[in-house]
């Protein structure tokens, strides 16, 4: 019962072709509270989710949905959908953390009835559905996948703020371990979809589709990041080049050039590449493909993860221009969330950047309009608190709030000679910054840095 399970449960419960939906939620310290909330028809998800609150209330009132921590309710289920977190215990060593998935599979297996259909929506390392998942389900149930129950991977494509819309309108990849599983899964999902089409394929092809659609996005971002660094060295404005490249049009020509930035965070992109890479067990094979170098996707990960270091370089060179040493300098970081206008800070690039500037002896204050304080990291809501008498302000997240900074006011608040702005998300009007006497550096702005 998270970002993936709740909207799916609500939509299935609201579908006339579904008799009843049980939402299974572990009664854990962190998430057990969701059970009561959901049974009151209240969404425990943070952030605006158009239509979800109303839909939950409707399906609870019409007795089509209930949440429980009792997995025994699965016994009379025709279909069981697993939507739990699948991360990495160690990104470096590519060790997937399948603990939640294995627990869910064991629980589903123990209560599985013959003839039911098991769907895995979680993002998994390709090979998991037919491998680990199938083995656990068969061992726990004593049944045979295919013969006694269906099994398919139907990857989620949720995006915070558009949960219901994506489920209804986005195309859905459906990959069964055999064609009856694929057909049954397609029949299950079709009624909750409006504009979205269903694309059927094998379970492993569905796993590779999901992980590579994010690995490819990470690669596209890394291409923009690397190009931006070239432009800085060449003394030109990356955004002129970006406009130029995007202008190349014509039959079958496309250049999806994304945006450089202070780094790539979130719960999808930083991990899905590793799921994809982990599936190619034989690293020598990968080297064969890339000609002894690392996989292209791992190189993209390294480029994107190097961007907070580049932000440090820009910060140090700008402080030098201001005739100040980094040690003891005060810096205001604007933006802690991993993406614009969200409070979600998972894998935020602002964290490594903060560690890097602190490592140089800088005193750090962090502002974010949405993200909440993260353990021992206080996050301030008032911009003045973070900007007042700072030597440097660095923008790490493209929140709308930072797109209309009053630079005159900021200058006054910083109240020092040659204040520094480091723009990691191309949200500050560079000309206005220079006119207001700032020393200004930005990713990709070789013409100004």
- Residues serving a catalytic function are 210, 268
Helices and strands, counts by H and E, the chain: 17, 15
Which of 126, 266, 332, 419: binder of ligand SAJ (CB under 6 A)? Answer: 266
Residue 362 interacting with ligand SAJ (CB under 6 A): no
Range 184-203, binding ligand SAJ (CB under 6 A): none
| Core vs surface per residue 8-18: b (16+ CB within 10 A) or e | bbbbbbbbeeb
Beta bridge partners of 67: 23
Q: Which of 261, 369, 419, 424 binds ligand SAJ (CB under 6 A)?
A: 261
Among the listed residues 176, 265, 332, 369, the single contact to ligand SAJ using CB under 6 A: 265
Q: Please, which residues have CB within 8 angstroms of residue 14's CB and are 6 or more apart in sequence?
A: 55, 58, 59, 64, 192
Contact 114, 149 (CB under 8 A): yes
> Residue 214 interacts with ligand SAJ (CB under 6 A)?
yes
Of 8, 74, 104, 268, the one binding ligand SAJ by CB under 6 A: 268
Instruction: Report the DSSP pairing between strands 172-176 and 150-153.
Output: antiparallel
Q: How far apart are CA 423 and CA 445, in angstroms?
A: 10
Which parts of 218-237 interact with ligand SAJ (CB under 6 A)?
A: 221
| Distance separating alpha carbons of residues 422 and 41, to the nearest angstrom | 45
159 belongs to the binding site for ligand SAJ (CB under 6 A): yes
Distance separating alpha carbons of residues 226 and 65, to the nearest angstrom: 49
Report the alpha-carbon distance of residue 338 to residue 397 in Å, rounded. 7
The pair of structure tokens assigned to 433 is 């910054």
To the nearest whole angstrom, how small is the minimum distance from the Cβ of residue 47 to ligand SAJ? Answer: 12
Q: CB nearer to ligand SAJ: give 266 or 446.
A: 266
Between 20 and 259, CB nearer to ligand SAJ = 259
**150 contributes a contact to ligand SAJ by CB under 6 A:** no
Binders of ligand SAJ: how many residues, by CB under 6 A? 17
Task: Report CA-CA distances (Å) from 132 to 120, 148, 328.
Answer: 12, 18, 52
C-alpha 62, offset from chain centre: 34
Q: How far is the CB of 60 from ligand SAJ (least distance, A)?
A: 27
Please report which helix (H) or strand (E) contains residue 72, including its range.
none
Residues 60-119 that bind ligand SAJ (CB under 6 A): none
Pairing of β 21-24 and β 330-334:
unpaired
| C-beta of 145 vs 334, nearer to ligand SAJ | 334
What Å distances lie between residue 316 and 235, 294, 297, 357, 441, CA to CA?
18, 31, 30, 9, 10
- Kindly tell me which residue out of 83, 163, 167, 269 binds ligand SAJ, with binding defined by CB under 6 A: 269
Toward ligand SAJ, which CB reaches closer, 45 or 74? 45
Tokens for 270, please give them: 């930083």
Shortest distance, position 269 Cβ to ligand SAJ, whole Å: 5
Residue closer to ligand SAJ, measured from CB, 221 or 331: 221
Interacting positions 336-355 with ligand SAJ (CB under 6 A) = 338-339
In the complex, minimum distance from the CB of residue 364 to ligand SAJ, in angstroms, rounded to a whole number:
20
Stretch that binds ligand SAJ, among 98-106, 145-153, 157-165, 175-183 (CB under 6 A): 157-165
Give the angle subtended at the CA of 171 by the CAs of 170 and 172, to the nearest 5°: 110
CA distance linking residue 60 with residue 67, whole number of Å: 9
Q: How far is the CB of 201 from ligand SAJ (least distance, A)?
A: 18
Of 269 and 351, which has the nearer Cβ to ligand SAJ?
Answer: 269
Closest to ligand SAJ by CB, 105 or 221: 221
**Binder among 259, 374, 411, 416 for ligand SAJ (CB under 6 A):** 259
Residues 6+ apart with CB under 8 A from 431: none
Where on the chain is the footprint of ligand SAJ (CB under 6 A)? 157-159, 213-214, 217, 221, 258-259, 261, 264-266, 268-269, 338-339
């Amino acid at each position: 019962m998270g970002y993936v399970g709740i909207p799916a449960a609500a939509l299935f419960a609201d579908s006339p072709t579904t008799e009843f939906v049980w939402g299974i939620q572990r009664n854990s310290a962190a998430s057990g509270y969701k059970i009561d909330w959901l049974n009151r028809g209240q969404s425990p998800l943070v952030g605006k989710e158009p239509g979800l609150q109303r839909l939950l209330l409707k399906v609870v009132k019409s007795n089509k949905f209930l949440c429980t921590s009792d997995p025994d309710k699965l016994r009379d289920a025709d279909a069981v959908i697993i939507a739990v977190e699948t991360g990495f215990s160690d990104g470096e060593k590519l060790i997937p953390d399948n603990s939640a998935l294995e627990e869910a599979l064991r629980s589903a297996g123990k209560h599985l009835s013959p003839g039911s259909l098991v769907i895995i929506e979680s993002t998994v390392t390709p090979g998991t559905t037919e491998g680990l998942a199938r083995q656990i389900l068969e061992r726990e149930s004593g049944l045979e996948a295919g013969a006694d129950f269906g099994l398919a991977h139907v990857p989620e494509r949720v995006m915070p703020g558009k949960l219901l819309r994506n489920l209804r309108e986005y195309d859905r990849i459906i990959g069964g371990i055999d064609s009856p599983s694929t057909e049954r899964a397609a029949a299950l999902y079709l009624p909750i979809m409006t504009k979205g089409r269903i694309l059927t394929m094998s379970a492993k092809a569905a796993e590779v589709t999901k992980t590579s659609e994010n690995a490819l996005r990470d690669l596209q971002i890394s291409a923009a990041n690397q190009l931006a660094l070239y432009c800085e060295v060449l003394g030109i404005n990356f955004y002129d080049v970006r406009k130029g490249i995007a202008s190349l049009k014509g039959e079958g020509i496309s250049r999806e050039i994304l945006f450089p930035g202070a780094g790539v965070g979130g719960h999808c992109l930083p991990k899905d590449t590793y799921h994809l890479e982990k599936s190619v067990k034989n690293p020598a094979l990968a080297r064969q493909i890339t000609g002894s170098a690392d996989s292209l996707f791992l190189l993209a990960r390294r480029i994107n993860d190097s961007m907070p270091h580049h932000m440090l370089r820009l910060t140090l060179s700008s402080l030098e221009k201001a005739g100040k040493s980094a040690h003891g300098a005060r810096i205001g970081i604007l933006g802690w969330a991993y993406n614009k206008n969200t409070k979600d800070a998972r894998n935020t690039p602002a964290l490594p950047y903060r560690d890097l500037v602190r490592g140089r002896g800088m005193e750090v204050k962090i502002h974010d309009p949405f993200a909440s304080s993260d353990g021992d990291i206080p996050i301030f809501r008032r911009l003045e608190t973070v900007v007042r008498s700072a030597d440097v302000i660095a923008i790490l997240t493209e929140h709308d709030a930072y797109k209309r900074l009053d630079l005159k006011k900021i200058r006054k608040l910083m109240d020092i000679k040659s204040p520094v702005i480091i723009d990691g998300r191309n949200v500050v009007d560079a000309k206005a910054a220079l006119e207001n006497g700032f020393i200004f550096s930005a990713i990709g702005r070789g013409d100004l840095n």
